Amino acid sequence: MAEPTSPTATHVPDADEILTGLRDALTGVLDATDLARINLDAIDADTPLLSLPIDSLALMDLMTRIEDRFRVYIPEERAYAFTTVGEVIDHVREKAAAKAARKRS
């Protein structure tokens, strides 16, 4: 398994990187019983967040792990508004792209 990369100020992660990061974060957030209830490999951009066995506390832990990994900020209100994994991916990509653009200028 490849070592996760730490994004730099000019790196914009692709959707697959973010999806891998989200799957990795889920393994740290969910207990063994909840992990056994889902197929991590089947999670994709269309997966509804509400289909995952996470409560509001686990959601915030998940978002914090994604923020740390990709060095972006996800406001709490935005985190609760996400309905699909794809919306999380899009948000992270947008924030990373904006950050990269600021660093280049």
Q: Which domains are seen in the chain, by residue range?
A: 15-104 (1.10.1200.10)
Of the two residues 103 and 29, the one the predictor is more confident about is 29
Are 70 and 21 spatial neighbours (Cβ–Cβ below 8 Å)?
yes
Phi first, then psi, for residue 3 (nearest 5°) are: -70, 135
32-76 pLDDT, tens per residue? 999 999 999 999 999 999 999 999 999 999 999 999 999 999 999
Q: Which residue has the tokens 């600021």?
A: 102
Q: Does the pLDDT of residue 3 top 50, yes or no?
A: no
pTM, rounded to two decimals? 0.87
For the chain, what is the mean pLDDT?
91
